[in-house]
Structure 1
Amino acid sequence: MVSNPVRPLPALPAELRAHLPAELRGLRRDGVRLMVVDRAAQSIRHSRFIELGSFLRRPDGWAAPARQDGGMSDGPKRLAGTVAMVTGASRGLGRALAIAFAREGAALALCARGIPALDEVANAVAGLGADVHEPGSAETPSAGRSFSWELLFELRRHGVQLADIVLHTGLSSLQDDAVDAEHPLFEEWFGVTANAAEAVNRAPRVIAVGTTVVRALETAAGRDGQVSATEGWTRLRLEAGSPLRVVDGLLTGFHEPQASHFDLLRAFLHEPLLERAYREAMTARYLWHEFGDLCLIL
């Protein structure tokens, strides 16, 4: 029996590369387009990311625990529900701004060149009750960029539960196609807490936000498919035929055929449907890369 070779996919036109975030293209961050690929129905639908909740069924009987925020004083916070990125946060004006933002309820992403001094500031604002984001990522985890607070709260209201894991996302490209092809960047650090592992194990369906989340959860899973609290480096490569023990679906950006991310999609989609989705995305003028549109695989 001779198998048919995979047909080469057309190269991505330059005009479909998104160079600006949605907000600088006249859209809300959650206003990007969404392609929905349904494996069971072998169908492709077109929507907007703001409509994500309509494609996720409610997980019956799965209730999220109430969040406990220790250390916050009573009373409304003017910056509650916002995230502030403070550069130069280890001293001077940056340190003062970090503390001021923390007192007003903002979650913080602190950036500085001096790690010991930055750790001291992080401990100080954590003592004020601030949610200080973990340091270490080299790039934005782009699949989650389009989530707005409004959309997250809407998903929660409709019973969609969220589990957070830590990703120190590695570089997706060295900006040289030849070097990228010869030296793929597979190693990335992740952390799954006991609470996150429990939430994933209880979920009737797990949708990963980004290819790195897929690799992290599948690395943290045992042979029985149960996720354990784990932290460390994942070197897992997923491709056609790779078993998926944990993740049932994927929210991802659009990737070019030569990228390792595209190989990972083959663990979810058989080649005919993957090729069809790729060609349809090009025809419909979806935008690629970190600031582009999104694809939901169910």
Structure 2
Amino acid sequence: MTVKSWDFYLPDELNASYPPEKRGLRRDHVRIMVLNRHTGETKHDCFFQLTEYLQPGDLLILNNSRTIPAVLQAEWCRNGKLLAEKVEVRLARRLQEDIWEALIAANPITIGDTLRFAPELSASVLAEKENSPLKMIHFSKKGTELFNMIYALGEPIRYEYIVEPWALDYYQTVFASHPGSVEMPSAGRAFSWELLFKLNRKGIQVEFIQLHTGLSYLLDDQWHQSPEENDEEYHISEKTLELIRQTKASGKRVIAVGTTVVRALETAAKYCAPSGVTNLYIDRHFPLKIADGIITGFHEPKASHLDMLTAFISEHDLLKAYDQAIKSGYLWHEFGDMNLIL
């Protein structure tokens, strides 16, 4: 698999550094560019007007995975000797109740080294991931007890375009309920309860799945994760699958809120697996079986998510729309504006 190099110029001022709430906006009052996947035509609106572009009987599917504060600080020890008082550990993916893949900003970290996060929490380095800087670490606690410690000690992952360390609440969707994502499933951030109720009143169906997002950036451009190297855990209930079947049978549309939802839905359809781990790569050659449309943010240059969008719309129309979004001053990233392709 070769990920296309989607390179374009994104002015720094279009990187959304502040949550909408800090810019004087409700979260559901960010902008939305509506893109017709068949004609390439674009319309511009406020996200709160989403109901104007959907029909009664359409089905919106959102990811209710909850963001965890995945950045931890630890003492680094080897054979009982302190090597560093403070190293950053970024959780990447949960493998078992007490075992995670993690990115450790210490070199050379080796198998058997110990990370001390607090007097009551430590982890040992179990193994290295092949062709990756990620390590497997074994925590001294597991399950709910471990999650409680992570929430007490951690901070949300923050990239260079975010100017201040915003609280974890800013990295949550209003409906997030299942902890596990190390980065926010950000396509759902613009939804408010008021908008969800508005959709319901219009007869637009809303359902939830879970896909726990992994770590997208490994801090060194030497390491690039393709979608096929980024395993993510997902779950879709039988109730949701049945509602999808009914919606498709009635001729209505299934709209995925986010690339995470597309990945989960299409994995379930391709492998007849409602739960599991996905590394599915979707591009213009992939025949979508479930998703008829997508709500997503604007993706940065060279992002593999742009490959996925070409499963919905031609590369030419997508690039033309992105050029228009840049000229119109749309904002990028998790605190930015939204794009509906339908």
TM-score normalised by length of structure 1: 0.71
Give the structure with the higher percent helix.
1
AA partner of residue 196 (structure 1): T
Question: Does 2:217 correspond to 1:219?
Answer: no
Query: Which structure's relative contact order is higher, taking Cα pairs within 8 Å and 6+ residues apart?
Result: 2
Deviation for aligned residue 1:7: 10
Question: Does 2:232 correspond to 1:174?
Answer: no
AA partner of residue 264 (structure 1): M
AA partner of residue 54 (structure 2): L
Given that residues 237 and 274 in structure 2 are in contact (C-alpha distance below 8 angstroms), is that contact kept between their aligned partners in structure 1? yes
Given that residues 139 and 170 in structure 1 are in contact (C-alpha distance below 8 angstroms), is that contact kept between their aligned partners in structure 2? yes
Alignment of 1:113-262 (within 5 A): 114-116=141-143, 118=145, 133-180=177-224, 186-203=230-247, 204-222=252-270, 230-262=274-306
Identity score, percent: 47
Give the number of aligned pairs.
234
Question: Does 2:16 correspond to 1:18?
Answer: yes
Given that residues 32 and 44 in structure 2 are in contact (C-alpha distance below 8 angstroms), is that contact kept between their aligned partners in structure 1? yes
Deviation for aligned residue 1:202: 1.4
> Residues 167 and 186 of structure 1: is their aligned pair in 2 closer, same or farther, counting only changes over 3 Å?
same
Larger mean CA deviation between 148-157 and 199-208 belongs to 199-208
Given that residues 236 and 274 in structure 2 are in contact (C-alpha distance below 8 angstroms), is that contact kept between their aligned partners in structure 1? yes
Q: For residues 234 and 86 of structure 1, what CA distance do their matches in structure 2 show?
A: 20
> Residues 26 and 189 of structure 1: is their aligned pair in 2 closer, same or farther, counting only changes over 3 Å?
same
Alignment of 1:80-119 (within 5 A): 114-116=141-143, 118=145
Deviation for aligned residue 1:85: 9.7
Deviation for aligned residue 1:196: 1.0
Unaligned runs of 5+ in 2: 60-65, 70-120, 122-140, 149-174
1:133-179, Cα deviation, whole Å (9 max, x unpaired)? 22221111100011000000000110110111011111232344453
Q: For residues 37 and 177 of structure 1, what CA distance do their matches in structure 2 show?
A: 32
1:31 is matched with which residue? Answer: 29
Given that residues 239 and 265 in structure 1 are in contact (C-alpha distance below 8 angstroms), is that contact kept between their aligned partners in structure 2? yes
1:184-219, Cα deviation, whole Å (9 max, x unpaired)? 853211100111111111112100000010010000
Larger mean CA deviation between 35-44 and 48-57 belongs to 35-44
Q: For residues 43 and 150 of structure 1, what CA distance do their matches in structure 2 show?
A: 28
Instruction: Determine helix, strand or coil for the equivalent of 1:171.
Output: coil
> Residues 215 and 132 of structure 1: is their aligned pair in 2 closer, same or farther, counting only changes over 3 Å?
closer
Deviation for aligned residue 1:19: 1.3
Q: For residues 226 and 296 of structure 2, what CA distance do their matches in structure 1 show?
A: 24
Q: For residues 268 and 119 of structure 1, what CA distance do their matches in structure 2 show?
A: 40
> Residues 267 and 188 of structure 1: is their aligned pair in 2 closer, same or farther, counting only changes over 3 Å?
same
Q: For residues 259 and 39 of structure 2, what CA distance do their matches in structure 1 show?
A: 23
1:279 is matched with which residue? Answer: 323
Given that residues 227 and 304 in structure 2 are in contact (C-alpha distance below 8 angstroms), is that contact kept between their aligned partners in structure 1? no
1:63-114, Cα deviation, whole Å (9 max, x unpaired)? xxxxxxxxxxxxxxxxxxxxx9999xxxxxxxxxxxxxxxxxxxxxxxxx75
AA partner of residue 34 (structure 1): I
Deviation for aligned residue 1:272: 1.3
Deviation for aligned residue 1:292: 0.6
> Residues 119 and 202 of structure 1: is their aligned pair in 2 closer, same or farther, counting only changes over 3 Å?
farther
Instruction: Determine helix, strand or coil for the equivalent of 1:179.
Output: coil
AA partner of residue 49 (structure 1): F
1:240-294, Cα deviation, whole Å (9 max, x unpaired)? 2211011000000001231111111111111110111110010001000111100
Q: For residues 266 and 208 of structure 2, what CA distance do their matches in structure 1 show?
A: 15
Unaligned runs of 5+ in 1: 1-5, 63-83, 88-112, 122-130
TM-score normalised by length of structure 2: 0.62
1:43 is matched with which residue? Answer: 41
AA partner of residue 166 (structure 1): Q
> Residues 163 and 53 of structure 1: is their aligned pair in 2 closer, same or farther, counting only changes over 3 Å?
same
AA partner of residue 30 (structure 2): V
> Residues 177 and 286 of structure 1: is their aligned pair in 2 closer, same or farther, counting only changes over 3 Å?
farther
Q: For residues 324 and 221 of structure 2, what CA distance do their matches in structure 1 show?
A: 24
AA partner of residue 255 (structure 2): I
Given that residues 188 and 233 in structure 1 are in contact (C-alpha distance below 8 angstroms), is that contact kept between their aligned partners in structure 2? yes
C-alpha RMSD of matched pairs (Å) = 3.1
2:78 is matched with which residue? Answer: none
